[in-house]
């Protein structure tokens, strides 16, 4: 059984200048990023590399159509791909580094085509996805009306570089949704049947850093996060290492149809499903790994384990309010449609559930959160 696999070399730089001095992005390199991240942090460094700004190719998280347009604009002839951005930019950059990504749909259907022939260096600018250390890229597949992960060893970067300076400009909402995503990664991976002592080391440490930070924010306000951004960044990478090995599960699986159909940001759609899945797990089985995890999290928050999810909701609501699913536009008829989609498209994730959830249970979770 796999205990822990980490492919990218993990590097840490206090500033973008230190990073650029080491990696020397140049004219043979392609940088996928956002203009509002590139200009303030790299604009003055006089780098000659080619830049593509993701926001010029569509709003929101990656879709198959956005990818096709960026692939076209990126052209050919570069030796390394740098992805500098949130999960959206990083997930696209990973696929741009592949040998042939001219047909994204074919890569989903034929994993043997997921081969890389360019260098890949990833710098996260949010504190959530952990994508810099995972071998997954997630796209909304517009015709299927869901999101799906493309996986393969070739999607591991050569280098994941943590540069806390890059998070100085993160908007409050993006901070909130991405850090909640990191929390869900740490929790789902720690409850996964694939969790090992080593993946839990990363997942539990991530939770310690995230929950302590959330508590400070709930007591002192959003500004109080500023000195903690380095911790949040590190925690999201730890959670990425944990879920990159042990997997994510039902929270992610059930959030994908919502995210894809109603354009809800990944972290927010996870948050909308999170408590429903956790309460369902506890109804079915309240001992074992979930009891151990709940006790640990309650200890950090300082509340009795049986009140954990109520206390956690109060804390997280100071980052973003949790909304019922109908407030995102979901219709009652979607409960059946989404449940069918989860069963049809998300078996990779459902296999990592703490306890098995059948279709009736999935419907119940959607109904409970509706």
Ligand X SMILES: NC(=O)c1ccc[n+]([C@@H]2O[C@H](COP(=O)([O-])OP(=O)(O)OC[C@H]3O[C@@H](n4cnc5c(N)ncnc54)[C@H](O)[C@@H]3O)[C@@H](O)[C@H]2O)c1
Chain positions contacting ligand X, by CB under 6 A: 34, 36-37, 61-62, 85-89, 91, 125-126, 128-131, 134, 136-138, 147, 166-167, 169-171, 174, 177-178, 181, 266-267
Residue 138 contact partner, candidates Fe ion, ligand X, none, CB within 5 to 8 A by sort of partner: ligand X
The kind and range of the H/E element at 51 are strand 50-53
How many angstroms separate the first and last alpha carbons of the chain? 38
- Phi and psi (nearest 5°) for 253? -60, -45
Residue 29 contact partner, candidates Fe ion, ligand X, none, CB within 5 to 8 A by sort of partner: none
Check binding of 61 to Fe ion (CB under 5 A). no
Q: Which long-range contacts (CB under 8 A, 24 or more apart) does 224-231 make?
A: 225/175, 229/127, 229/164, 229/167, 229/168, 229/170, 230/164
Of 95-103, 104-112, 178-186, 232-240: span binding Fe ion (CB under 5 A) = 178-186
Pairing label, strands 136-141, 146-151: antiparallel
CB of 147 to ligand X, least distance (A): 6
Q: What residues are paired with 31 via a beta bridge?
A: 51, 82
- Comparing CB distances to ligand X, the nearer of 38 and 305 is 38
Which tokens go with 4? 């822990």
Q: What contacts 252, CB < 8 A, 6 or more positions away?
A: 184, 188, 270, 346, 349
Check binding of 181 to Fe ion (CB under 5 A). yes
- Comparing CB distances to ligand X, the nearer of 134 and 339 is 134
Q: DSSP secondary structure string, 309-345?
A: HHHHHHHHTTTS----GGGGT--TTHHHHHHHHHHHH
Burial class (CB in 10 A: 0-12, 13-18, 19+), 198: middle
Residue 51 contact partner, candidates ligand X, Fe ion, none, CB within 5 to 8 A by sort of partner: none
CB of 136 to Fe ion, least distance (A): 9
- Comparing CB distances to ligand X, the nearer of 245 and 280 is 245
CB of 185 to Fe ion, least distance (A): 6
C-alpha distances in angstroms, 39 versus 27, 33, 50, 80, 317?
Answer: 17, 10, 13, 20, 33
- Comparing CB distances to ligand X, the nearer of 147 and 200 is 147
Residue 137 contact partner, candidates ligand X, Fe ion, none, CB within 5 to 8 A by sort of partner: ligand X
Residue 173 contact partner, candidates ligand X, Fe ion, none, CB within 5 to 8 A by sort of partner: none
Residue 87 contact partner, candidates ligand X, Fe ion, none, CB within 5 to 8 A by sort of partner: ligand X
Residue 245 contact partner, candidates Fe ion, ligand X, none, CB within 5 to 8 A by sort of partner: none
CB of 72 to Fe ion, least distance (A): 28
Half-sphere exposure of 92 toward its Cβ, with a 13 Å CA cutoff?
A: 33
- Comparing CB distances to ligand X, the nearer of 176 and 282 is 176
- Comparing CB distances to ligand X, the nearer of 239 and 357 is 239
Instruction: Give the whole-angstrom CA distance, residue 251 versus residue 294.
Output: 17
Q: For 143-275, list the strands marked E by DSSP.
A: 146-151, 159-162
- Comparing CB distances to ligand X, the nearer of 37 and 312 is 37
CB of 88 to ligand X, least distance (A): 3
Reduced DSSP (H G I as helix, E B as strand, rest coil) percent helix, strand, coil of the chain, to 5? 60, 10, 30
CB of 200 to Fe ion, least distance (A): 18
- Comparing CB distances to ligand X, the nearer of 200 and 266 is 266
Question: Contact residues for Fe ion (CB under 5 A)?
Answer: 181
């Amino acid at each position: 059984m796999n205990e822990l696999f980490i492919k990218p070399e993990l590097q840490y730089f206090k500033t973008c200048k230190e990073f650029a001095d080491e990696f020397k992005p140049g004219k043979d390199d392609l940088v996928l990023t956002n203009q509002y991240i590139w200009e303030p942090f790299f604009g003055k460094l006089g780098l000659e590399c080619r830049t593509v700004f993701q926001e010029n190719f569509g709003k929101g998280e990656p879709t198959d159509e956005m990818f096709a347009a960026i692939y076209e604009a990126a052209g050919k002839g570069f030796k390394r791909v740098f992805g500098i951005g949130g999960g959206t930019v990083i997930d696209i950059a990973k696929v741009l580094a592949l040998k042939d990504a001219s047909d994204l749909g074919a890569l989903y259907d034929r994993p043997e085509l997921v081969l890389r022939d360019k260098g890949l260096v990833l710098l996260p600018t949010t504190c959530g996805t952990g994508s810099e250390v995972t071998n997954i890229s997630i796209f909304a597949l517009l015709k299927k009306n869901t999101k799906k992960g493309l996986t393969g060893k070739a999607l591991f970067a050569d280098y994941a570089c943590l540069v806390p300076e890059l998070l100085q400009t993160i908007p409050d909402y993006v901070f909130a949704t991405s850090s909640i995503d990191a929390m869900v990664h740490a929790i789902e991976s720690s409850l996964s049947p694939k969790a090992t002592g080593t993946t839990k080391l990363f997942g539990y440490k991530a939770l310690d850093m995230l929950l302590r930070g959330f508590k400070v924010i709930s007591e002192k306000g959003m500004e109080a996060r500023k000195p903690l951004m380095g911790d949040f960044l590190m925690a999201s990478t730890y959670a990425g290492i944990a879920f990159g090995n042990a997997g994510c599960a039902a929270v992610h699986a059930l959030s994908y149809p919502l995210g894809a159909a109603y354009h809800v940001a990944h972290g927010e759609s996870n948050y909308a499903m999170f408590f429903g899945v956790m309460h369902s797990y506890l109804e079915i089985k309240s001992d074992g790994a979930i009891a151990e995890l709940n006790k640990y999290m309650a200890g950090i928050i300082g509340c009795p384990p049986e009140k954990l999810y109520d206390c956690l909701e109060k804390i997280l609501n100071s980052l973003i309010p949790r909304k019922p699913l109908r407030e995102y536009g979901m219709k009652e008829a979607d409960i059946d449609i989404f449940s069918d989609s989860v069963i049809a498209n998300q078996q990779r994730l459902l296999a990592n559930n703490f306890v098995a959830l059948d279709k009736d249970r999935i419907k119940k979770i959607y109904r409970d959160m509706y």
